[in-house]
Amino acid sequence: VRMAVFASGSGSNFTALEQACREGELHAEIVHVITDKPEAYVIERAKQAKIPVTVLQPKAFVSKQAHEHAIIDTLRASETEWIILAGYMRLIGHDLLSAYPSRIVNIHPSLLPSFPGKDAIGQAVDHGVKVTGVTVHLVDAGMDTGPILSQEAVRVVEGDAESTAEAIHAVEHVLYKETLKLLFEQ
């Protein structure tokens, strides 16, 4: 399975998946990393892992459509089969969705449909819920709304977004590879 990972930030989920592929735990290969942010730390991680990385900033294009077409060209060139979103902070538009129908996966740090969108961990802590978690889902046109593939609960550390985030990330790094493994075996 040829995957492209999309990320806008640190890329710890990228690293977890890259390691799972390298160690043969996940029968897949990350063929490309795509980011919309030239300062994203995932770029360093991709370089260290010797995986091609392309920065495509939306502001360099006249429209969202043009941006997505540049992404699609990059994906076609690397024969990408699946798109794996890992902290990619932008909605996927119509053209990219139709180029990869039911082949785009996202991980979100809450038990969806609770706390979609940005800062899901902060939202959960601020709301005072006792349990939050991680969701892996297929991507549709909405914000964190597509069909759910897997979920795992994580206890909230009361009033402490940082410790809660740490616990969530540890779960993400296991749940993402396990979910993709099952998905690719289908």
Binding site for ligand GRF (CB under 6 A): 7, 9-13, 86-87, 107-109, 172
| Cα→Cα distances 135→13, 99, 154, Å | 13, 24, 11
> How many Cβ atoms are within 10 Å of 14's Cβ, its own excluded?
28
Q: How far is the CB of 159 from ligand GRF (least distance, A)?
A: 19
- Letter for the amino acid at 78? S
> Is position 50 annotated in a ligand binding site?
no
62-72 burial string, b = 16+ CB within 10 Å, else e?
Answer: eeeeebbebbb
| SS3 at position 74 | helix
The nearer residue to ligand GRF, 7 or 30, going by C-beta atoms, is 7
Q: Which residue is nearest to ligand GRF (CB)?
A: 87
The nearer residue to ligand GRF, 109 or 146, going by C-beta atoms, is 109
> Is position 181 annotated in a ligand binding site?
no
The nearer residue to ligand GRF, 107 or 156, going by C-beta atoms, is 107
Q: Assess whether 108 carries a catalytic annotation.
A: yes
Would you say 40 and 7 are in contact if contact means Cβ atoms under 8 Å apart?
A: yes
Q: How far is the CB of 119 from ligand GRF (least distance, A)?
A: 10
Q: How far is the CB of 114 from ligand GRF (least distance, A)?
A: 14
The nearer residue to ligand GRF, 73 or 113, going by C-beta atoms, is 113
Q: How far apart are CA 28 and CA 180, in angstroms?
A: 9
Q: How far apart are CA 9 and CA 87, in angstroms?
A: 6
| Cα→Cα distances 180→65, 106, 149, 162, 173, Å | 28, 10, 9, 27, 12
> Is position 64 annotated in a ligand binding site?
yes
> Is position 155 annotated in a ligand binding site?
no
Q: How far is the CB of 62 from ligand GRF (least distance, A)?
A: 28
Indicate which residues carry an active-site annotation. 108
Annotated binding-site members for (6R)-10-formyltetrahydrofolate:
64, 89-92, 106
Annotated binding-site members:
11-13, 64, 89-92, 106
